[in-house]
Structure 1
């Protein structure tokens, strides 16, 4: 176990995704993205994953896209194994080799889960007995399964079992897993970062003329940031009126939006130029490099220098 300044860091969470033919690629993508993003936000490798199948051959998703896999018998050590199926599970439910492998993994000291309807395959081999589980409506061809404790929730982690009702609940399931492993604080950072990446700045196209003028003044003064009182005085309005304009139209304070503009500008400079980091910080109105680094990491979930290094490949253990 690594230590930083005397603090023990937990080893990476090792997750395997066990694919079945015609698996749901949408669900798999929703499971992988939080793992990739949490590594980025944390600044170190908290999660590793490998893509697996019964025999290690390429498998086709339900939309026809082929995906390389590694055989279960060649899997590196796992903490979590998650089964990923599709709409044709009724054709696979009676496969003796599949059932044998499910029985085997259900007895291992790891967390075992399934996405959506694949949870019913775990139920068929008794892997969900006496644990709470979230399952979609069962297919009639699967027959009657007893000793289940279903819950009215989109996803559920109970003891060593992970289940969810469908693709839309996959992300919640993965966030719950990460929260139980590393704490809710990290998941909150992950959710905050993801929201900013979707829409880093509010649209201002429909803003009032007065607000447009304030925003233009902000953009003209990114290097030497103006104080909020200075902005209000330059616009001939009170500070309170200025704050109301931003809250009503952009849902944030003037200082928050001003900082967002400067951070967006710094990212553009980092991606398109070769200025030293200290020069970028100064050009975007930060009083110190340390303050710039802290604000940048909080906003983008990465260090400014990461913008100048080649984007790393997903941290997969698949050969």
Structure 2
């Protein structure tokens, strides 16, 4: 890290790593916060963070630069560039968040590789960047280089990095955990205990959904009694509310990550994409693909 680093980008990265460890229930990754001198650094929002000297770091698999907004425009970072040159030839993955990626471009670490870089500052001279291959995507991993356009794209970059080393199953579990944590509290504080138990059972079975008769049997009540509970307290049928829960989870999955539509539909208990698309449009008035974050347009670098 450097002085005035982007705290938002750092927090997004560390939270992804922390959640991966929590969901896996063991340590799948470790991290160190490093700087050239090992001094305390202040983020752009003024929060101070302790760091460890880079030359005293534990062995590294990945090194990612998190810098300030104008890091690539400074003229007093010769030591940093020298260190980056050193790490660029090591057998590790080297990356940068946001505009810090332009510093990697300046030292030639991105030459001949695809990269995701944010809009460059007008002060940059593009003559030295003829070997860059920018892509229209929020983040990019090409061989041993990792780049992203800004702090909001950091999460996607970290998820892709984790998926490469630990499998996409871990990412799906992370996204499901995040979706559960973001689920609003159901209006059940005055609901009968039986209804509260049914709602909890529904939330626990959003992938392999339970039939209405199965729910009633599990609660030891008749189907008719179960339907009356929902109509009286929630104003809808049990099947309608169940569908609402599944669609809400699907929407959170779509907004949170890059899962294929087919995986989202399956994780939320839909037997076919066509059925998922139809239900989603009827409920939200939009196609599921509309929830995806739009990709950035390619940048044209001219001299």
- Listed as ranges, the gaps of 5+ residues in structure 1 are 1-18, 257-319
2:15 corresponds to: 33
Task: Give how far 1:153 is off.
Answer: 0.3
Paired residue for 1:234, among 187, 207, 225? 225
Provide the secondary structure at the position in 2 that maps to 1:152. Answer: coil
Q: What pairs with 1:50-199 in structure 2 (closer than 5 Å)?
A: 50-92=32-74, 94-144=76-126, 145-199=129-183
TM-score when normalising by structure 2: 0.68
Shift in Å at residue 236 of structure 1? 5.9
Instruction: Say whether the 8 Å CA contact 2:95–2:145 is kept in structure 1.
Output: yes
Following the alignment from structure 1 to structure 2, what is the Cα–Cα distance between the partners of residues 36 and 26? 15
How far apart in 1 are the matches of 2:2 and 2:17?
21
1:266-311 deviation line (CA, Å, top 9, x unaligned): xxxxxxxxxxxxxxxxxxxxxxxxxxxxxxxxxxxxxxxxxxxxxx
1:203 to 2:186 alignment: yes
Counterparts of 1:237 and 1:69, CA distance in 2: 60
SS class of match (2:111): coil
- Name the SS for the 1:49 alignment partner: coil
Structure 2 residue aligned with 1:15: none
**What's the Cα RMSD here?**
3.0
Length-normalised TM-score, structure 1: 0.64
Any unmatched runs of 5+ in structure 2?
200-213, 231-235, 250-303
Q: 1:238 to 1:58 in 2, by over 3 A?
A: closer
Higher strand share: 1
Cα distance between partner residues in 1 of 2:51 and 2:227: 64
